[in-house]
A and B are shown apart, each in its own frame.
Chain A
Amino acid sequence: MTERLDRRRFHADWIAQLIGIAFFVYLFFGFMLLPCLNTLTSIFREKNAAGEADPFAVIRFFLAGSMGSYVWNSLKLAVLLVITVNVVGISIVLLTEYFDIKGAKILRLGYMTTMIYSGVALVTGYMFLYAGDGMLTSLMKNAFPNFNASWFSGFSAVLFTMTFACTSNHMLFLRNAIRGIDYNTVEAARNMGANPFKVLWKVVLPTLIPTLFSLTVMTFITGLCAMSAPTLLGYDSINPEIVRLAGSSTADESFPQARAALLSIILAMFTIVLLTVLSAYERKGHYLSVSKTKAKLQKQKITNPVANVIAHIYAYILFIIYMTPVVMIIIFSFQNHSAIRGKKLDLNGWTLINYIGKQDYSYTNDRGKVKTVVGAISGVFSNEKTLGGIKLSFLMSALAAAFACVIVVVACNYIFNKKHKKSGVVLEYALLFPWLLPTILICYSYRVYFNSDAVWYVGNQNLYFKENVRLLIVMAYTVTKLPFSLRMIKASFYAIDEELQDAAKNLGASPLRTFLKVKLPIILPSVLAVFALNFNALFTEYDMSATFQSPEGTTYAMVIQGMTADATRGANMNALGRRCASTVFIMIVSGLILYLVYGVGSRDLGERLEIKNRRRKRWEKLRGKTNKEGKANTQA
């Protein structure tokens, strides 16, 4: 089928296409392939002590030295995390969606708190409670003097924190899968004599296996690529070591850069293998429900009273684990610095200073003199450093989230055009490419590759130099968000009925007008949702900016991380309080975004018009009432 075009329109189309292709070639080669290839080859470019080229020096070093322990540590974390996260993740989903547990709605809210704070915000939150001087640890130590105060460090702390931090995906995907189960199949099994646990084991769980498999692979990769928890809690896994090596120099140790490159390549290899396994499994096809009239899942009562009590106790213990950090952080974000330091709630110590405002701090020094530090106590929105981090993160995240969306929308519009079948597939794979690589590898590659003025295609500018690094971070953010954006936005393009385009064409609309007036409004809610989710993830992102490790690129999460360190006597007194307030601020931002995406954004035009109508009626009624009252008053 060929569609006839005007010669003029044909030329405009052709030029636009050429510009588009040039842009994507530039993006793929310039910001995906070349920097990463440079990292890969750098492993083999090292020289030995005699100054001769020795391509296998780093590999020999790896095999002989202790470098393998980082890989081993990461693998250990990933494997154990798969077990613990699945146990907790499946538990919380079953407890809120499958079994009839009293207070399931409240429990669900508690289990979902990890969706509004993660990464550095979450880890520092856990540290606030469990670290050596943390609240709960101090409490335990007071109660049991023999209690090991440093229990929350290293491997066990990372595993504990990440077990509860990484269940968000279970709450999203496994919950959807379990809600999609046809209840008639459960009833059929019960009718044939199976008890609830047998039904769970034989009927329900098998249908969840594809989702569980994906979640397992995702959790494994998360464990392998863990960054903020091992860094903050002190565990020698791959990513923190890459960041350390990237900042090191040959004067201190043997070829640190090449070692960092090797570690990131090892990480990439694991990721590629796992994702290949996952996509091969996904391609094999899933258990599809054959039911045409699905019945809604009804909650199962646990008939055995003992099991029922145990299930309730288990559910509420998990709830306490999830909720305690959140509640404590919220409460203590409104407490003054002495209460926070003493880890004791002070009913007279309520303050907003951790959020806004500045206060001086006076103390008596060793010589008995009273000293005053001006502005030692300051709130999140009054502290220049914090505010700077927020502003920078806000700007970079918004820019990158928008870039990723625009790039993907343009690409999808091209991919979904029937004329570009083959080149569309090539473009799609190019945009999915960053998915195969750990974000740390991409950031590390950028840091090394663009830290030179010899890269001609960026105008021979050193992009790692001073403020330029911000551009580099925005590029890294954009590139790493492309695969997710593509998967989500592509799905929304399927919703555009081909007949809609034909209808617009028939009514005289040009391709551009059809895109702007017909297609874009249809996909816009999804695009905005992807923008919001991208922004949400990037705004509190730590792993990437930590890899860049640049003073000009100090993001909000890095500032928060810094707040653990500088709460010393006299200066910066309320760093911990500001950290609590920061976490609360992040929770509010994330919560608002999730509400906008899933609450407001999912409404279609009909629902929006209905709400508008209802509001108008309510307003008219109110106005009518006040008018009447007004009249009555004047009459009176």
Chain B
Amino acid sequence: MIKLNNIVVKFGDFTALHDINVQVREGEFFTFLGPSGCGKTTTLRTITGFIEPASGTVVVKDRDITHVRIEDRNIGIVFQSYALFPTMTVYDNIAFGLKIKKLKKDEIDRKVREIARKVDLSDEQLAKAVSQLSGGQQQRVAIARALVTGPAIICMDEPLSNLDAKLRVQLRNELKKMQKDFGITTIYVTHDQEEALTLSDRIAVFNKGYIEQIGTPNEVYNFSKTEFVCNFIGDINRLSDEVVRKMIDAGAELSAENHNYIRLERMHVNEAPKPGQITLDGVVEMREYYGLYIKYYINVGSQTVKVIEKNDGVRIYEEGQSVSVLIDPRDVMAYPPSQEAEVGA
């Protein structure tokens, strides 16, 4: 559906994107994830045509659109600020693109009301000024405006970053549902890994103008290709050399030369080891109570590891209590030391 072939974008002497190659499938929810300044928005703006690449091609449905004008690309966009025209009513905002296409008045009206219904905007809201709507409603207007002209692709640039935490979660679900209902190919930009994991069919993780990994949420989380990806996505423990050596002594196939990581939820407190698993002795240093789960900081001698336990009411450990930490070496993600761990945001 969308192919980015060897895209390079330069701003003066600065190279913002290095040889970017991405293929997005039809109907896919594809996310560009990364810290600020990593090149994800630049890539999005290259697809929409606001930026012309120094080299490389943008191909949509086998048509090279690298040099096609913005308005002729048939790609809708929802901006971070929503970019709703403040001097127009909700109706006029949605109708703007249709008026430019010189559609007949009754057709414009039909299309505007149809899309408004789909994104759950009432007739009364259509007559309002955008400033009279809530953040969530404004977002729906922005989506309706982007979709009403019938684009082949919709691009969203951090559309949830303006909202408070609760609304973000609520709208995230609505967004996903809308995308499924419309079946439209969606490119989504965010720096929020939770958003990326919950929404996406596939994710491209960006770092300093390069793509570190492209994969499903499960692939990038559990099988992070680079040290950057494993650090950027989710919380993680880097195991100290001493712990790694202990594990090697106990028969684990690890190398102390590598940087070894394990996710918090992959370790367990006071559980009996199965074959291949090992335990470390430690003391609970601190406990953070989150309700759904409890996070323990456990000193295992050479380092403090963080472990998450489901709050099932059975296992609650006090600070200062001696415990054992269960590790399965197969859960350890190892990276050669040449791969520098750089976590941006």
Contact = CB atoms under 8 A, between A and B. Distances in A.
Contact of A505 (B51, B52, B70, B85): B70
Contact of B71 (A506, A517, A518): A506
B149 to A, nearest CB: 7
B128 A507 contact: no
A506 B145 CA distance: 11
A4 B52 contact: yes
Contacts of A605: 86-89, 129-131
A491 interface: no
A508 B71 contact: yes
Interface in B102-161: 127-132, 145, 149
Interface stretch (B21-29, B76-84, B299-307): B76-84
B215 interface: no
A504 interface: yes
A604 interface: yes
Given A4-B69, A508-B101, A609-B132, A604 B86 contact: yes
A502 B50 CA distance: 8
Nearest to B51: A1
B71 A499 contact: no
A500 B97 contact: no
A573 to B, nearest CB: 53
Contact of A503 (B51, B77, B128, B149): B77
Contact of B81 (A1, A499, A504, A505): A499
Contacts of A509: 71, 96, 100
Nearest to B71: A508
B132 A606 contact: yes
B100 A503 contact: no
Contacts, number: 87
A609 B79 contact: no
B97 A507 contact: yes
A522 interface: yes
Interface string A595-611: 00000000011101110
Contact of A507 (B67, B80, B96, B132): B96
B214 interface: no
Contact of A497 (B11, B83, B88, B149): B83
A55 to B, nearest CB: 51
A502 B97 contact: no
A507 B52 contact: no
Given A503-B79, A507-B145, A518-B85, A604 B52 contact: no
Nearest to A500: B83
B131 A508 contact: no
A521 interface: yes
B70 A522 contact: no
Interface in A601-636: 604-606, 608-610
A507 B11 contact: no
Contacts of A513: 100
Contacts of B89: 605, 609
B231 interface: no
Interface string B275-302: 0000000000000000000000000000
A497 B81 CA distance: 9
A507 B100 CA distance: 8
A521 B87 contact: yes
A216 to B, nearest CB: 38
A385 B58 CA distance: 72
A3 B68 CA distance: 10
Nearest to B101: A508
A3 to B, nearest CB: 7
A604 B85 CA distance: 12
B131 A606 contact: yes
B42 to A, nearest CB: 9
A3 B87 contact: no
B79 A521 contact: no
Contact of B87 (A4, A499, A522, A610): A522
Contacts of A505: 50, 70-71
A502 B79 contact: yes
A586 B71 CA distance: 51
Contacts of B75: 506
Nearest to B87: A521
A503 B144 CA distance: 13
Contacts of B200: none
B149 A609 contact: no
A2 interface: yes
Contacts of B190: none
Interface in A406-439: none
B86 A499 contact: no
Nearest to B100: A508
Contact of B129 (A504, A508, A522, A606): A606
A604 B97 contact: no
A6 interface: yes
B260 interface: no
Interface string B211-242: 00000000000000000000000000000000
A133 B163 CA distance: 69
A503 B88 CA distance: 14
B31 interface: no
B101 to A, nearest CB: 7
A471 to B, nearest CB: 35
Interface in A475-504: 497, 499-500, 502-504
Nearest to A605: B129
A517 B92 CA distance: 11
Interface in A495-547: 497, 499-500, 502-509, 513, 517-518, 521-522, 524
B131 A604 contact: yes
A506 to B, nearest CB: 5
Contacts of A507: 71, 96-97, 100, 145, 149
Contacts of B81: 497, 499
A502 B83 contact: yes
Contacts of A500: 83, 85
A504 B69 contact: no
A521 B87 CA distance: 6
Contact of B52 (A1, A606, A609): A1
Contacts of A3: 50, 52, 70
A412 B98 CA distance: 29
B207 interface: no
Contacts of A499: 79-81, 83
Given A521-B87, A605-B87, 5 more contacts: A3-B70, A502-B50, A502-B79, A508-B100, A509-B71
Interface of A: 1-4, 6, 497, 499-500, 502-509, 513, 517-518, 521-522, 524, 604-606, 608-610
29 contacts: A2-B52, A4-B69, A6-B69, A499-B81, A500-B83, A503-B77, A503-B85, A504-B96, A505-B70, A505-B71, A506-B48, A507-B71, A507-B96, A507-B97, A508-B71, A508-B101, A509-B96, A509-B100, A517-B96, A522-B86, A524-B87, A604-B86, A604-B129, A605-B88, A605-B89, A606-B128, A606-B130, A609-B89, A609-B128
Interface of B: 11, 48, 50-52, 67, 69-71, 75-77, 79-81, 83, 85-89, 96-97, 100-101, 127-132, 145, 149
Closest 9 CB pairs of A and B: A521-B87, A508-B71, A507-B97, A606-B129, A503-B83, A499-B83, A605-B129, A606-B131, A499-B79
